[in-house]
Amino acid sequence: MRLIIDIAMTHIAGRGRQTLVAVIGVAVGVGFSIAMAALMQGGQDDFVEQLVNTMPHVQVTDEQRTARRQPAEDAFDAVAISGLRPRDDRRGIINPTEALSWLEGWIPGRFAPSLRTQGVIRYSSREVGAAIIGVDPEAEPAVSPIVGEFVQGSFAGLTAGGNNIVVGDTMAERLGAGLGDTVTAVSSEGLSRNFRIVGLFHTGTTARDEGEAYVLLKNAQILSARPNAINEIRIKLDDPNAASAVARRVEAEIGYKAVAWQEANESILEALVVRNVIMYTVVAAIMLVAGFGIYNIISTITHEKARDIAIMKSLGFGEADMRRLFLLEGVAIGAGGSALGWLLGFSLVYALSLVRFELAATGQEMTRLPIAWSVVHYIIASSFALGSAAVAGYLPARRAARLNPVDIIRGAT
Amino acid sequence: MTTLIEAEKLTRILAETVPVTLVKNVSLTIGENEFVAVTGPSGSGKSSLLYLLGLLDRPTSGTLRIGGRDAGPMSEAQRARTRLAMLGFVFQFHFLLPEFSARENVEIPMRKLARLSRGEMRERAGGLLESLGLADHADKRPDQLSGGQRQRVAVARALANDPPLVLADEPTGSLDSKSSEQVFSILEALVREGGKTVVAVTHDLDMAARMDRRIHLVDGMIENGERRHAAERA
């Protein structure tokens, strides 16, 4: 076996340029596969992360998933109910203190209660419809995606004396108002109140920047005439993947609808599965092309070595020796190419990670290419390369090893 | 005299669209310490017969015994093993492995057989090359050697595992007369001094005349395969 290895290495070393071309061929395939995988995986991870970050992991609202079971249904077997209307209950989540302290006990993460109501923000003659959200400035930063997006001011400004409000910059622009201006908030109850703008945020999501206004919880309760009520608990978990389980438990215990982010974005996640399929198809296609390159190069080498195969067979080497020899050469080229491909892939990924650009039109700004650094990409790419190099070395070697040396010796010049 | 090769009614037909008969009904025995010339016109099947005798090709029919063993039922691996241990080949073209030095080329069959230690192999390869006047060229690659030198390296390689039988296919066919003479004397010395058997295909009748025995082939059949006596040779 040592002899076979020696011959293989001498063959490879003795053909510097060809070996280099072969190794580079493999390396390019491996490198680009790695870069593509990193880019596509990165894009997806980034997307999911945005999804997870911009919304609460679990959102508990004062709605019920199904209409309450009517007593008539319990009393009689044949009951058909139609036109059932939800009861006008303005209390929001009943017993909020108890619910919150229960959550406090076990939730692996942070949460904040809030009261969301529909209203209009008015500034002189201009009006913009808005979701007026009453929050607790202490708890809110822990669950809100807006915290880091303030252009001016912050949630803390809400606690400073007087009636204060935080709005998105797009809304402020449409109203023509700026920081420090006093706007009027009108609720669907018809109540109105004046607020001074103490903060402007810009998340990049137009719906948010244009349609959300944050005030103190107490003020929201006054505006909507629902004293002490909250209708929303937003939960941010340490591990976003635990959201489904947490949501189930909360819903079972409190009875209100608790929606995990996965459920809220089901269609998007489904689309991601499709995207995943596309990603793997693209990466597999690149690898397939690389595999053919490897096959080509190694089978060419094997064909060129047909004479040497005949010589060695006439000396007394068996077919198995010849197969092993060229398999070894294929694998060696594959291994060398993989190693170089790792380097190439790493540099490509690094180079891509340095690319910066501005994108404001799509709503969500992106300043860097999202890149996923994963060892798995490297392992998959190189094992594929090694595999195809082995096949690429084996198939022509098997054919060549079977050749009758006499045919080659006869035809030699 | 021990018999090295015993062929009986060897026939080799190439299965082409029109079958080509290369060797037909050849029966012969070759013993130890013989110097045999295989002659005949072009296309008479000289080389084909040699390949059959050297286990490089399988006969279509007939039996071949080599060193007393029937080669017919041997597996490919066994045939390779037999070639390695019992046979040495010298072809018209040197057929050295181009990436290896002369010494490495000679060592390869020894390493494959793995009967000696690496040190002994090195020593033996050096000794063989030296005995063929190539002591200074041992570390050169084939493309750095002249045609005659390459052919002598090929002879050294054929002798690497000290086989009792050396088969040569037009060993001087592509050499100038001086190198031809040199290679021929080496082969002759193998028989006279080394006690080997050399079977050489040649179309050089002068050369054939200097060997002990001549097998003349015409159209794949032996026309004349008698042994001559030393007296006749002179």
The pLDDT, as a whole number, for residue A183 is: 93
In this prediction, residue B230 carries a pLDDT of 44
* Nearest-by-CA chain B residue for A401: B76
Chain A residues whose beta carbon lies within 8 Å of the beta carbon of residue B116: none
pLDDT at A214: 92
pLDDT < 70: residue spans in chain A: 358-366, 411-413
Instruction: Determine the pLDDT at residue A95.
Output: 82
Q: Which residues of B touch A325 (CB under 8 A)?
A: none
Q: Which residues of chain A are within 8 Å of residue B57 when distances are taken between CB atoms?
A: 404, 406
Contact B95 A409 (CB under 8 A): yes
Q: What is the tens place of the pLDDT at every residue in B99-137? A: 888 888 888 888 888 888 888 888 888 888 888 888 888
A163 close to A183: Cβ distance less than 8 angstroms: no
Taking residues B52-74, report their average pLDDT.
85
The answer to whether A30 and A385 are in contact (CB under 8 A) is: yes
What length is written for chain B?
A: 234
Please enumerate in sequence order all residues whose Cβ is within 8 A of that of A137, keeping only pairs 6 or more positions apart, or say none. A155, A156, A158, A159, A216
d(CA A242, CA A247): 9
Cβ contact, residue pair A406, B56, below 8 Å: yes
List the domain boundaries for chain A.
2-52+268-411, 71-256
**Beta carbons of A276 and A268 less than 8 angstroms apart:** no
Give the chain B residue whose CA is nearest to the CA of A308.
B97
Residue B8 confidence (pLDDT) above 90:
no
CB-nearest partner of A315 from B76, B93, B112: B112
In the prediction, which pLDDT does A359 show? 64
- Nearest chain B Cα distance for residue A345, angstroms: 33
Structure tokens at A135: 């929050």
Residues 7-66 of B with CB under 8 A from A: 47-48, 51, 54, 56-57
| A327 CA: distance to closest CA in chain B (Å) | 18
Q: Which of A10, A12, A17, A315 should one mutate to test binding to chain B, selecting the residue with the greatest count of B CBs within 10 A?
A: A315
The pLDDT value given to residue A83: 82
Element (H, E) at A200: strand A192-201
Q: Which helix (H) or strand (E) holds A232?
A: strand A232-237
Chain A: closest CA distance from residue B229 (Å):
33
* Alpha helix (H) residue ranges in A138-265: 140-143, 169-175, 206-211, 217-223, 243-254, 261-264
CATH number of B3-72+79-98+163-228: 3.40.50.300
* Among candidates B57, B85, B157 on the partner chain, residue whose Cβ is nearest the Cβ of A406: B57
pLDDT number for residue A195: 92
Pick from B84, B96, B99: CB nearest A316: B84
Identify any residues that bridge with A195 across adjacent strands, giving them in sequence order.
A183
- Cβ–Cβ gap A317/B112 under 8 Å: yes
* 3-state SS record for A138-171: CCHHHHCCCHHHEEEECHHHHCCCCCEEEEEHHH
> A232 with A59: CB under 8 angstroms?
yes
**8 Å CB contact between A337 and A390:** no
Rounded to whole angstroms, the Cα distance separating A255 from A258 reads 9
Helices A243-254 and A96-106 cross at an angle (nearest 10°) of 140
Contact between A7 and B77 using a beta-carbon 8 Å cutoff: no
Residues 6+ apart with CB under 8 A from B169: A409, B47, B50, B89, B90, B91, B92, B200, B201
Closest CA to A199 of A190, A209, A207, A191: A209
Shortest distance between the Cα of B231 and any Cα of chain A, in A, equals: 37
Interatomic CA distance for residues A347 and A341, integer angstroms: 10
3-state class (DSSP) for residue A235: strand
Provide, as residue numbers in chain B, all residues whose Cβ is less than 8 Å from the Cβ of A317.
Answer: 80, 84, 112
Chain A residues touching residue B95 (CB < 8 angstroms):
307, 310-311, 314, 409, 412
The pLDDT tens digits of the residues spanning A138-181 come to 888 888 877 778 888 888 888 887 789 999 989 999 999 888 89
- Residue B71, pLDDT above cutoff 90: no
Q: B97, A312: Cβ pair inside 8 Å?
A: yes
Going from N- to C-terminal start, the domains of chain B cover 3-72+79-98+163-228
CB neighbours (10 Å) of residue A63? 11
Confidence (pLDDT) at A361: 56
The predicted structure's pLDDT at residue B234: 39
| CA A86/CA A156 separation, integer angstroms | 37
Hey, what are B45's tokens? 């099947």
Collapse the DSSP code of B45 into the 3-class scheme (helix H, G, I; strand E, B; otherwise coil) and give the result: coil
Chain A residues whose CB is inside 8 A of the B54 CB are: 314
Flag if A404 and B57 touch (Cβ within 8 Å).
yes
Contacts 24+ apart (CB under 8 A), A383-386: A384/A30, A384/A33, A384/A287, A384/A290, A384/A291, A385/A26, A385/A29, A385/A30, A385/A287, A385/A290, A385/A291, A385/A294, A385/A334, A385/A337, A385/A338, A385/A341, A386/A331, A386/A334, A386/A335, A386/A338
Say if the ipTM goes beyond 0.85: no
Report the run of H or E that residue B8 belongs to, with start and end. strand B3-14
pLDDT in the model for residue A132? 92
Give the distance from CA A291 to its chain's centroid: 29
Average pLDDT of every residue of chain B? 83
Q: Which residues of B touch A402 (CB under 8 A)?
A: none
Q: Is B77 on the interface with A (CB under 8 A)?
A: yes
Q: What are the residues whose beta carbons fall under 8 Å from the beta carbon of B221, sequence distance 6 or more?
A: B24, B25, B26
Q: Is B149 on the interface with A (CB under 8 A)?
A: no
Where does residue A211 fall: left (phi above 0), alpha (psi -120 to 50 degrees), or beta otherwise?
Answer: alpha
Instruction: Give me the residue from B51, B82, B95 closest to A311, CB to CB.
Output: B95
How far does the CA of residue A308 sit from the closest CA of chain B (Å)? 6
Inter-chain contact A406–B108, Cβ cutoff 8 Å? Answer: no
Nearest to A368 by CA among A383, A350, A386: A350
pLDDT number for residue B232 = 46
Query: Quick one: DSSP state of residue A61?
Result: E
Residue of chain A whose Cα is closest to the Cα of B14: A407
Residues in chain B within 8 Å Cβ distance of A403: none
User: Which chain A positions have a beta carbon within 8 Å of B85's beta carbon?
Assistant: 316
Asked if the Cβ–Cβ distance from B83 to A314 is below 8 Å, we say yes
Minimal Cα distance from B76: which residue of A?
Answer: A318
By Cβ distance, the residue of A307, A308, A314 closest to B56 is A314
Using a CB-CB cut-off of 8 Å, the residues of chain A touching B84 are 315-317
Q: Bigger pLDDT: A229 or B1?
A: A229
Q: Indicate yes or no: CB of A313 within 8 angstroms of CB of B80.
A: yes
Between the alpha carbon of residue B171 and those of residues A309, B38, B198, the distances in Å are: 20, 12, 11
User: How far away is chain B from the Cα of A7, in angstroms, using its nearest Cα?
Assistant: 9
Contact status of B150 with chain A (Cβ, < 8 Å) = no
β-pair type (A150-153, A192-201): antiparallel
Of B82, B87, B93, the CB nearest to A412: B93
* A126-135 and A109-123 strand pairing: antiparallel
Q: Kindly list the distances between the CA atom of residue A413 and the CA atoms of A11, A310, B91, B94, B209, in Å, as whole numbers in the listed order.
A: 21, 14, 11, 11, 27
Is the CB of B84 less than 8 angstroms away from the CB of A14?
Answer: no
Mutate to test the interface with A, among B99, B100, B113, B167 (most CBs of A within 10 A): B99
What does the DSSP assignment read for B26-41? EEEEEETT-EEEEE-S
